[in-house]
Each structure stands twice: as structure tokens, then as C-alpha cells.
Amino acid sequence: MRRNREYIALRNSILIGWLLTIIVISLSIYFSSIVYLLIGCFILSLKYGLTGTVKNVEKRLPTWANFGVIEKPVNRRVTRPFPFRG
């Protein structure tokens, strides 16, 4: 169940991010002003910064996850790169 909640939170944040991006780009094109683009970038950075603190999402979203790619669940065990010989 926990994994499903993580996927739902990731999917919602990605959909909201795309929606905000489209709205901001259309406003900046319509009014031909760079101010809307800067404000939109600031809002998106705040939104994705806060998404990492949601308790359903344990890891902060990587930058490539904002473009429609959902990260697979990571095995959280610590593994050594080389076998231990002792």
C-alpha cells in the first residue's frame, strides 16, 4: 500500500507540474512578457521542493522525474560495491 501511495503522489505532482508549465508558457507567450516565465519557474521550483517533503514520497524528486518518468522503487538495503573478503 505504501508503494501505491508513493506512485499516486508522484503522478499527481508530475501532472500538476505539467499543467502549471503549460499555463505559464501560454501566459508568457500571450502577454509576450518574460516576467510570467520567471514567476512560473519560481512557483515550479517551490512546488517540487515541497513535494520532496511529503511523507508519502521518501526521496526528493530527481530532475528527470519532472518530465513524465516515474522512478522505480529503490531497494533501500546498503550494498557494497565489492564482495567483502576477510
Q: What phi and psi values does residue 35 have, to the nearest 5 degrees?
A: -65, -40
Rg (C-alpha) for the chain, rounded Å, is 18
State residue 37's pLDDT score: 74
State residue 50's pLDDT score: 60
- By residue range, what is the domain housing residue 7? 2-56
State residue 69's pLDDT score: 45
Using CB atoms within 10 Å of the CB of residue 77, give its burial: 0 to 12 exposed, 13 to 18 middle, 19+ buried: exposed
Per-residue pLDDT of the chain (86 residues; tens, 9 = 90+): 556 777 777 777 777 777 877 887 787 777 777 777 777 777 777 766 665 555 445 455 554 454 444 444 444 445 555 555 55
Does residue 31 lie within any of the structural domains?
yes
Does residue 34 lie within any of the structural domains?
yes
Does residue 67 lie within any of the structural domains?
no
Domain count, the chain: 1
Does residue 42 lie within any of the structural domains?
yes
Q: Which of 69, 59, 68 is nearest to 19 (CA)?
A: 68
Does residue 13 lie within any of the structural domains?
yes
